[in-house]
């Protein structure tokens, strides 16, 4: 089946620290991969995406590279800010049999302290 | 572009009652999705529509749940005979079928509490 596993939180960092949130996936086809972010009191927002192996998605200083050999899509940011405090979800769409549903990980809560 | 809207934002009901939620997608989007999110978990897929056709349903969607999108625009999700286990955030998302993007845009959600 299709599933996403991401590192358990919560993660607490100081401002300007380096961030990595690990994400690995299991999929039977060639999925598209996503990171969504949920800021406090707000809805889910797409942060970045990658649709094929070796693609790098990037946005707002965040990056993630689609690694087919390790079935991973780790999220990184070189210098986090207090405003990055949120819950981050890794997700995939299987793209098999025409299915476009998103399969999410459990989420990782990030808190950045000044 | 006003984004995806959902109503109501909060719903409190007693066990055994029926509830209905509404989702208005981004106007030109032909696909509409429903997800359910419980505390500390990621969203779980329930069902999706392409225009007015319901193309996929999760096994999570019991017989008490029904979704419609009668004119290919807004959608409703009805839960009959609610149970305490139905308490969750119900999320709606929409997307535009396109060769270059399939990004799903989410609404703010409807939080259901079943007493």
pLDDT digit string, tens, across residues B54-100: 998 998 788 999 999 998 899 999 999 999 999 999 999 999 887 66
Section A93-107 average pLDDT: 83
Banded model confidence at residue A98, pLDDT cuts 50, 70, 90:
low
First to last CA, chain A: 41
Q: Determine phi and psi for B26, rounding to 5 degrees.
A: -60, 140
> Could you say which of A32, A46, A101 has the minimum Cβ distance to residue B45?
A101
Q: Say if the Cβ atoms of B35 and A102 lie within 8 Å.
A: yes
* Sheet containing B75-79: order of strands: B5-7, B19-24, B75-79, B65-68
pLDDT digits (tens, 9 = 90+) for A25-46: 999 878 999 999 999 888 899 9
Query: In angstroms, what separates the C-alpha of A66 from chain B's closest C-alpha?
Result: 17
Q: Determine phi and psi for B85, rounding to 5 degrees.
A: -70, -10
Q: Which residues, other chains included, contact B39 with Cβ-Cβ below 8 Å and sequence gap of 6+? A: none
3-state SS, residue B84? helix
Banded model confidence at residue B31, pLDDT cuts 50, 70, 90:
very high
Section A59-75 average pLDDT: 96
**Chain centroid to CA A104:** 9
Section A58-86 average pLDDT: 96
**Chain centroid to CA A6:** 8
Contact residues, B window 56-75, toward A, CB-based 8 Å cutoff: 56, 58
**Mean pLDDT across chain B:** 92
DSSP element (H, E) containing A110: strand A108-113
- Calculate what percentage of chain A has a pLDDT beyond 90: 78
Nearest-CA residue of chain B relative to A10?
Answer: B40
B12 at interface of A, judged by CB pairs closer than 8 A? no
Asked whether the bond before A114 is cis by omega within 30 degrees of 0, the reply is: no
């Amino acid at each position: 089946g299709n599933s996403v596993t991401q590192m358990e939180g919560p993660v607490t960092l100081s401002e300007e620290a380096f961030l990595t949130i690990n994400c690995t996936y299991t999929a039977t086809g060639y999925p598209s991969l996503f990171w969504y972010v949920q800021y406090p009191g707000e809805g889910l927002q797409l942060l970045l995406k990658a649709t094929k192996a070796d693609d790098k998605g990037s946005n707002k200083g965040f990056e993630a590279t689609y690694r087919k050999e390790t079935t991973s899509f780790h999220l990184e940011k070189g210098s986090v800010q207090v405003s990055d405090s949120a819950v981050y979800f890794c997700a995939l769409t299987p793209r098999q049999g025409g299915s476009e549903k998103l399969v999410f990980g459990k989420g990782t809560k990030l808190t950045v302290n000044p | 572009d006003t984004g995806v809207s959902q109503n109501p934002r909060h719903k409190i009901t007693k066990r055994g009652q029926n509830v209905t939620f509404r989702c208005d997608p981004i106007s030109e989007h032909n696909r509409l999705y429903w997800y359910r999110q419980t505390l500390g978990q990621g969203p779980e897929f329930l069902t999706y529509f392409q225009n007015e056709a319901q193309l996929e349903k999760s096994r999570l969607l019991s017989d008490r749940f029904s979704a419609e999108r009668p004119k290919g625009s807004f959608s409703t999700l009805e839960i009959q005979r609610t149970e305490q286990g139905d308490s969750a955030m119900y999320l709606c998302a929409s997307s535009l079928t396109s060769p270059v993007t399939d990004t799903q845009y989410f609404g703010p959600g409807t939080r259901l509490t079943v007493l």
